[in-house]
Amino acid sequence: MSLEHELAVAFLESHPTEAAVALERMRGERRAATLAAVPAEAAVPAVRAMVRPVAADCLARLDAAAAGEILDGLDVDAGAAVLRRIPPSARARLLDVLGTARREALERLLQYPEGTAGALMDPTVPTLPDDVSIAEARVRLRRTVQGLLFYLYVVDRDQRLVGVLDVAELMGARAGEPLRSVMHTPVERLPAWLPAAAVRTDGGWKTYHAMPVVDEAGRFLGAIRYQTLRRLEHDADAAGSEHPTATTVAALGELFHLGMAGFVEGISAAAVPRGRAATVPDATEGSEARHD
């Protein structure tokens, strides 16, 4: 690996937003070749920061294995948002290379339109059944790592949300007691089809830093994390904060990014992709946002 390539990879990892802007200025095939030439862990932060249509175009142009590595590194809601913008045949190709748990989580999110609570939730949040003991619930908790929140959601055998408690309450309860004896009910919840604007203003956020999402029958689907709420608030603020001063700063930033684009683009010229080549050059050319 050349020094130029090493520096460019380091830039991708440490300055993902600037790298995303630089990548967005490239043509589609060059952008995909650049991502194909770097390790997935270096590509993921920049892909996460890209505007969604461009990120989708990149993944659609990569071979399935390379795109799958990047999807594995993205949060599931971000991964689903990108996949929604990829044509169905290419999307199926990418989903097929993922592990079962990641694929199923993404497919659950893709059932719901963008801009709804169902599309914003983390579907990997674990649940506990209401008919187990505190001791059994603790055993199950110790086996659970992925998706764990401060709150523990309790469901019945029809997967309906029936209660909630926090980890400290579970650990402090008497082992022989049934879980349902210490859970709190009723539980604040968000319908899966609730618009994102209503999610952002829901009164439950004044009390909780995560909110469960349920379907029409009250079955637990996942939870929206506080970090997601903050992102929604940031996006809403950014959409309404156009100001002459901000425009001037952005224009000055353009000069910096124009020079940086050539630096990042040098990755694809400095390294020969090995097994991560772009193989679908025209997958989304017709639908790609014009950032060239």
Quote the pLDDT of residue 248: 45
Q: With 0-12 CB in 10 A as exposed, 13-18 as middle and 19+ as buried, what is 83?
A: buried
DSSP, res 70: H
pLDDT tens figures, 225-260: 988 888 888 777 766 655 554 444 444 444 444 455
pLDDT tens figures, 111-120: 998 889 999 9
5 token code pair? 């390539």
Domains of the chain, start order: 3-115+250-270 (1.25.60.10), 127-236 (3.10.580.10)
- Per the model's pLDDT, the better-predicted residue between 147 and 165 turns out to be 165
Q: Is the pLDDT of residue 200 over 50?
A: yes
191 three-state secondary structure: strand
Angle at 214 (CA atoms; ends 212, 217), nearest 5 degrees? 150
Sign of CA dihedral 106, 111, 114, 119: negative
Amino acid type, 23: L
Query: Full-prediction pTM beyond 0.75?
Result: no
Tell me if 54 sits within 8 A of 24, measured CB to CB: yes
Tell me if 32 sits within 8 A of 40, measured CB to CB: no
Q: Average pLDDT of the chain?
A: 82
Q: Is the pLDDT of residue 58 over 60?
A: yes
45 token code pair? 């932060």
Picking from 76, 225, 213, the residue whose alpha carbon sits closest to that of residue 155 is 213
Residue 286 to residue 288: CA distance in whole angstroms: 6
Strands (E) in the chain, as ranges, are 127-129, 151-155, 161-166, 190-191, 210-214, 220-225
Tell me if 219 sits within 8 A of 171, measured CB to CB: no
Query: What pairs with residue 154 in β-bridges?
Result: 128, 163
Residue 52 to residue 54: CA distance in whole angstroms: 5
Q: Is the pLDDT of residue 131 over 70?
A: yes
- Per the model's pLDDT, the better-predicted residue between 258 and 223 turns out to be 223
Tell me if 157 sits within 8 A of 163, measured CB to CB: no
Average pLDDT over residues 177-191: 94
